[in-house]
Amino acid sequence: MSFSVAGVLLAAGAGRRMGLPKSQLRHRDGVSYLDRAVGVLLDGGCATVTVVLGASAEVAISLLDEAGWSEDPRVSVVVGTDWDEGMGASLRHGLTALAEGLLEPDAAVVTLVDLPDITAGVVVRLLDGAVGPDPLVRASYDGVPGHPVLLGHEHWGGVVEAAVGDHGARDFLAGREVRFVECADLATGRDVDHPDDLT
C-alpha cells in the first residue's frame, strides 16, 4: 500500500430500535463496540481514526476514555449536532474533518460501529484491493455489498454532496465503478439493529 489511509468510524446514531446507541453495546468479553471498532481500523492499516459521535456523545467519549483511546494521538472525535438526520450527516462530518486536518490522507476507510464481527483482516483485504491513486473499494459478503468502504480522496467532495439522510455514500457509489472485495470468509458483515440480533 503506497498511499496514506485514515479510518472514519460512524457511531452517531441513537439506536432507537436497539433501545440505546449502538456505540454503547459491548461484546461478550466486555469490550465496547466502539473500542473494538477503533482497534480494528488501526490494526487493519489506518494511520488515524476519526470517530463521529452524536447521540449520547458524552457516554461514548467516556467509553473511549475507558479504553485509553482519548490519550492516543491517532484517534480524534467529531460530534455532529445534526446526527438525527441520519448516516449521511455523520459521513459528511467525518470526511470534512479529514479534509480540513493538518495531515490530509490519500484515502479513507469508512465503517460503522454496529458491525461486531468485522476484523482487522477485512480492512487489510480492502486496502490490498485498492487500485490506482483514487480507489473505490467495498467489502462484500457472499456477493452482498457492505462495509467497510475505501474512498479515495478525489471522491470525498462528491460523497459529501450526495450523503443525505440514511443513504450515506450509497447514491454516489451507485453511479461509479466500484471494486468489490469478497470477505465472507472473514466476517458476516451483518449489523445489529435490534436486541434480537445480539443472540
Pairing of strands 144-152, 136-141: antiparallel
Q: What pLDDT score was predicted for residue 197?
A: 62
Q: How far apart are CA 51 and CA 34, in angstroms?
A: 9
Q: What pLDDT score was predicted for residue 45?
A: 96
All cell numbers assigned to 10:
460512524
Q: What pLDDT score was predicted for residue 168?
A: 81
Q: How far apart are CA 39 and CA 193, in angstroms?
A: 22
Contact 143, 101 (CB under 8 A): no
Q: What is the pTM of this model?
A: 0.94
Q: What pLDDT score was predicted for residue 195?
A: 62
Pairing of strands 144-152, 107-112: antiparallel
Long-range (24+ apart) CB contacts under 8 A made by 174-177 are 176/136, 177/136
Give the CATH number, domain containing residue 40: 3.90.550.10
Q: What is the dihedral of CA 119, 123, 129, 133, to 10 degrees?
A: 180
Q: What pLDDT score was predicted for residue 128?
A: 95
Amino acid at 54: G
- Give me the number of domains the chain comprises: 1
Q: What pLDDT score was predicted for residue 18?
A: 72
Query: Residue 34 sits in which domain range?
Result: 5-198
Q: How far apart are CA 93 and CA 52, in angstroms?
A: 7
Contact 54, 12 (CB under 8 A): yes
Burial degree of 131 (CB within 10 A; 0-12, 13-18, 19+)? exposed
- Average pLDDT, 10 consecutive residues per value, the chain (199 residues): 87 77 86 96 97 92 94 95 86 93 89 95 96 91 96 94 84 91 96 69
Q: How far apart are CA 132 and CA 82, in angstroms?
A: 34
Q: What pLDDT score was predicted for residue 104?
A: 82
Q: What pLDDT score was predicted for residue 87?
A: 85
